[in-house]
Amino acid sequence: MSAVTAEHGHDDHHDDHAHGPEKGWLRWIITTNHKDIGTLYLLFALAMFFVGGTMAMIIRAELFEPGMQFVDPKFFNSMTTMHALVMVFGAVMPAFVGLANWMIPMMIGAPDMALPRMNNMSFWMLVAGVLLLASTLFMEGGAPAGGWTLYPPLVLQTGKALPFAIFSVHLLGISSIMGAINIIATILNMRAPAMTLMKMPLFVWTWLITGFLLIAIMPVFAGAVTMLLTDKFFHTSFFDAAGGGDPVLYQHIFWFFGHPEVYVMILPTFGVASTIIPVFARKPLFGYSSMVYATASIAFLSFIVWAHHMFTVGLPISGELYFMYATMLIAIPTGVKVFNWTATMWKGAMTFETPMLFSIAFVVLFTLGGFTGLMMSIAPVDFQYHDTYFIVAHFHYTLVPASVFILMAAGYFWLPKWTGHMYNEKIGQLHFWLSAISVNILFFPQHFLGLAGMPRRIPDYAIQFADWNMISSIGGFIFGASQLLFLWIVIDTIKGGTGEKVSDEVWEDAHKHGLEWTLPSPVPYHTFSTPPTVIPCDHN
Amino acid sequence: MKKTKQLFAGATLATLGLQSAHADYALNLMQGVTKVSHDIFDLHMLILWVCVFIGIAVFGTMFYSMYYHRKSRGHKAENFHENTTVEIIWTIIPTIILVAMAIPATKTMIELDNVQDSEMSIKVTGKQWYWDYEYLGTGVHFESHLDAASEKAHRDGSDPHGVPHYLLNVDRPLVVPVGKKIRFVFTSADVIHSWWVPDLGWKKDANPGFINEAWTSVDKPGTYRGQCTELCGRDHGFMPIVVIAMEQGDYDNWVKTTLAKQEEKPDLSDQSREQLMANGAAVYLKNCVSCHQIDGAGAPGDYPALRGSAKVNAGIDPLIGFLQAGTSKMPSFAKLKDNELAAVITYIRNAPELGNKVGDEVQPKAITPVYDDDDK
């Protein structure tokens, strides 16, 4: 345990030979600065969060009452498909890459990312990919409507949009791989000399592991969609039984990508939670090394459980049993993490600022999502749960009040450091309570709907599902509207926030927990041009 | 927070006056009507209680800590950050629970998978967007579509509350005998579908070009409803399943009458224009509406419009041939009987709701086999 005080910090921000940002709007196009690119990623992700959210509102509006009221069934399917793709590839993943860009160099005492020009390129390729994807909404035959999983043969019935959607997946994949390479290279090569691997903040650890996941899986997804492309346009039959192929093969390949992919969204979430909770519990993170090993175990397991998404496609009994056992195992490292967070809070001196509130809600609600995950790992019972609203509730619990809440928490936690301004705590708390209550009104009843027999991805439903659907929609509208408060807070904080002077460490004793809090607020354009010599490390 | 949630839900409901709505606030999985479905229900309850128990322990600890270990109560933070004993305990206990869960789960899984010694087999083919049932070895073979009342209601935007079993009713249900081990074989003619009746306890995907198997043995007579659960395109939400289980004697009678009806020759005598139009409307609603839509406008980019279509409004003979042959995009409708074809052709050429007005009619006798039925 050691505290870093201002003396070494001075050297960093007196680096006057370092030039500042480019003047004018061109700065944002050509920047290679990790903070600028981090900001670009985060703002882009926020914009896409609202685009994807608008699609969710259309879905919930159509499902508000039984009967078809607003949209055509095909467009409804496009909405569920695009909502997922935009949220996964446009909002959650880029938001975590944005956080990685901003925070990893500052957390490990590096001046910038290892590959700054590639960093710029991966951001703009992401924008190109998402815009290309969005453009399919306006094409003949509409946007892809076969679900985000793009299962053949259904997805091959897509109109003109299919090759564009596939190319967009390629772009997004290249962007992700470049981002991952950059993050891994930064973490492995750019750490301050005293920053050993086992002193790294958990957020850095989780991203290191996530980086490897991304490099392993994105080429697999690219391969799968390329096979779709050749099946459709070049007369191959990878997924067509008439030519000796098998549509289920696609599902195996897709989920070999898809299951690690969902962990790409949750592992950095764990990292941020493990960073925030100790600060507000005023206590070191409990079980640092078991957190690292648990993250690595979860990442490893994510590669050998893929067919639990496919229990009902007709696997042999040995396959059903193997994938059931392997999936159940995930509960162990995940449980360790939840227990560790609880133990971190235990006998601390907790305060409940907005980032802490979101983090606690994350632990509770992610655990609920974990419970339903455990329930669905029981293969025979999954023959009932599969493809119903039960699974919709499950993965939304692990994504919205987990990943999205933690992204909000990260925003509140680091915005004062980034901008030098304090956000409005009252509005922050209001945003939290509205979100935390409405997200449960939105998703909890979906468990009941699934158990009562409502399939997912249907635009209209039988009368007995009416009441819970209406409640869910009401929760959805409140949740959607509440997020405008977050937008307001981000803008307000950038413009000056409460006007309160923010100290370097922002949160009480935060400097004991991470290097970023030893830097001035707002953070100068260039930091750690010379590496720090003293590393705050509260766990050994 | 849960209290708040309930209160809030209650208040919302009260203001919307929903108490009078038809729906029940169903909370849990149904127990079903087969042994397997009961086993699955028991497993579901077991794992649910395990989760509830762990949840109470973890959340209880957390909330205790949040209340007593807060700075505003003057609690001073301690500084411990590991405890090997505790960490080993909370790794081992979940492992034991998982092993204990895996044993009954394995048993049920094996039971669910065992299609041996079945007494009859039904082949189920998923099609965009209806089911096709073939009772292997008996000659009983029919299609099962969404019933006309639901079909109309969801298409013309009318209030579905008055429609009996809205979206969960079919024109011809699957009929099975109780107490017999029935083997199902699943396949698909186009995209992947999935056949699910919750009361039977399972769903199974219907994959094009492949066969999947599953089995059931229904304990008590009744009507059990379900839906397609694998996204299969535009009308995925509109291909329900209805299974009627009856005593063996009733079932045998049903097979007899069904076979007799299948053998019946269709009435090919001339019909009045009104009859043709009414029959045609019914045939259209069942076979054509998914693609060409209730107003004949089609779906731009996917399906052509019938409204003002040159093909529909030109000569009759090419139209008959077209419907019987089908194209790479449209299935052949040679499966329709001559009287049905005549009626639907009259309907699409003359229905005001489709915007066409040729002013002629086609009688069943005018239908000549352009394309031999057995070739497909």
Domain ranges of chain A: 6-518
Over residues A200-219, mean pLDDT: 97
Tally of domains in chain B: 3
Comparison of pLDDT for A360 and B320, the residue scoring more: A360
Q: Say whether pLDDT at B317 is over 60.
A: yes
| CATH number of the domain within which B86 lies | 1.10.287.90
Query: Do B84 and B152 belong together in one domain?
Result: no
Assigned domain for B3 exists? no
Best of A378, A465, A470, A478 to substitute, by most chain B Cβ atoms within 10 angstroms, is A378
Active site annotation includes A302 = no
Chain B environment of A140 (Cβ under 8 Å): 300-301
Nearest of A315, A270, A324 to residue A293 by alpha carbon: A270
pLDDT band (50, 70, 90) for residue A50 = very high
| A29 has a chain B CB within 8 A of its CB | no
Q: Are A206 and A293 in contact (CB under 8 A)?
A: no
Active site annotation includes A533 = no
Q: Are A164 and A268 in contact (CB under 8 A)?
A: no
Query: Do B355 and B294 belong together in one domain?
Result: yes
Q: Which residue has the tokens 């949220």?
A: A87
Best of A301, A350, A433, A508 to substitute, by most chain B Cβ atoms within 10 angstroms, is A350
Q: Say whether pLDDT at B11 is over 60.
A: no
Q: Are A464 and A400 in contact (CB under 8 A)?
A: no
Query: Do B280 and B338 belong together in one domain?
Result: yes
**What span, in angstroms and rounded, lies between the C-alpha atoms of B277 and A454?**
36
Nearest of A164, A310, A308, A198 to residue A250 by alpha carbon: A310
| A458 has a chain B CB within 8 A of its CB | yes
Assigned domain for B1 exists? no
Catalytic residue among A34, A35, A83, A191: A83
pLDDT given for residue B1 in this prediction = 46
Query: Do B103 and B66 belong together in one domain?
Result: yes
User: Which among A66, A142, A444 has the least Cβ separation from residue B166?
Assistant: A66
Query: Do B233 and B170 belong together in one domain?
Result: yes
Question: Inter-chain contact B301–A142, Cβ cutoff 8 Å?
Answer: yes
| A474 has a chain B CB within 8 A of its CB | yes
Question: Inter-chain contact B237–A444, Cβ cutoff 8 Å?
Answer: no
Last residue of a domain, one of B263, B285, B320: B263
Catalytic residue among A31, A210, A334, A521: A334
pLDDT given for residue B99 in this prediction = 96
pLDDT band (50, 70, 90) for residue A12 = very low
| A434 has a chain B CB within 8 A of its CB | no
Other beta carbons less than 10 A from residue B21's beta carbon: 16
| CATH number of the domain within which B349 lies | 1.10.760.10
Tens of pLDDT, residue by residue over A308-348, are: 999 999 999 999 999 999 999 999 999 999 999 999 999 99
pLDDT given for residue B20 in this prediction = 39
Assigned domain for B9 exists? no
Parallel, antiparallel, or unpaired: how do β-strands B120-127 and B141-144 relate? unpaired
Parallel, antiparallel, or unpaired: how do β-strands B202-206 and B212-216 relate? unpaired
Q: In the CATH hierarchy, which fold is given to the domain comprising A6-518?
A: Cytochrome C Oxidase; Chain A (1.20.210)
Q: How far is A141 from chain B (nearest CA, A)?
A: 4
Query: Do B218 and B305 belong together in one domain?
Result: no
- What is the SS3 assignment for B120? strand
pLDDT given for residue B315 in this prediction = 85
Percent of chain A whose pLDDT exceeds 70: 96
Last residue of a domain, one of B55, B84, B113: B113
Query: Do B218 and B347 belong together in one domain?
Result: no
Q: Kindly state the tokens that stand for B79.
A: 């500084």
Question: Inter-chain contact B95–A74, Cβ cutoff 8 Å?
Answer: no
The CA-based dihedral angle spanning residues A491, A496, A499, A501, taken in that order and rounded to the nearest 10 degrees: 110
Length of chain B: 376
| A347 has a chain B CB within 8 A of its CB | yes
Catalytic residue among A81, A186, A274, A398: A274
Q: Say whether pLDDT at B8 is over 60.
A: no
| A467 has a chain B CB within 8 A of its CB | yes
Chain A environment of B23 (Cβ under 8 Å): 463-468
Assigned domain for B288 exists? yes
- Ramachandran quadrant class, B179 (left: phi over 0; alpha: psi -120 to 50; beta: rest): left
| A366 has a chain B CB within 8 A of its CB | no
Tens of pLDDT, residue by residue over A142-185, are: 999 999 999 999 999 998 999 999 999 999 999 999 999 999 99
Average pLDDT, chain B: 90
Percent of chain B whose pLDDT exceeds 90: 72
Active site annotation includes A431 = no
Please give the ipTM for the structure prediction.
0.91
Over residues A237-260, mean pLDDT: 96
Q: Which residue has the tokens 């958990």?
A: A202
pLDDT given for residue B376 in this prediction = 39
Query: Do B248 and B177 belong together in one domain?
Result: yes
Domain residue limits at B309: 273-375
Q: Which residues contact B361 (CB under 8 A, 6 or more apart)?
A: B273, B276, B346, B350
Nearest of B197, A20, B213 to residue B205 by alpha carbon: B213
Return the DSSP state at B373. G
Q: Which residues contact A287 (CB under 8 A, 6 or more apart)?
A: A336, A339, A340, A343, B81, B82, B87
Tens of pLDDT, residue by residue over A78-114, are: 999 999 999 999 999 999 999 999 999 999 999 999 9
Catalytic residue among A456, A492, A498, A508: A456
Tens of pLDDT, residue by residue over B95-135, are: 999 999 999 999 999 999 999 999 999 999 999 999 999 99
Average pLDDT, chain A: 94
pLDDT band (50, 70, 90) for residue A23 = confident
| A444 has a chain B CB within 8 A of its CB | yes
Q: Say whether pLDDT at A540 is over 70.
A: no
Question: Inter-chain contact B70–A351, Cβ cutoff 8 Å?
Answer: yes
H or E element in which residue B175 lies: strand B174-177
Q: How far is A246 from chain B (nearest CA, A)?
A: 8
Question: Inter-chain contact B302–A335, Cβ cutoff 8 Å?
Answer: no
**What span, in angstroms and rounded, lies between the C-alpha atoms of A146 and A258?**
16
Query: Do B251 and B308 belong together in one domain?
Result: no
Residue of A nearest to B303 (CA): A141
pLDDT given for residue B227 in this prediction = 96
Query: Do B83 and B183 belong together in one domain?
Result: no
User: Which among A247, A331, A368 has the least Cβ separation from residue B207?
Assistant: A247
pLDDT given for residue B12 in this prediction = 52
Question: Inter-chain contact A463–B22, Cβ cutoff 8 Å?
Answer: yes
Last residue of a domain, one of B73, B95, B113: B113
User: Which among B36, B204, B238 has the least Cβ separation from residue A314?
Assistant: B204
Tens of pLDDT, residue by residue over A131-153, are: 999 999 999 889 999 999 999 99
**Whether the model pTM is above 0.90:** yes
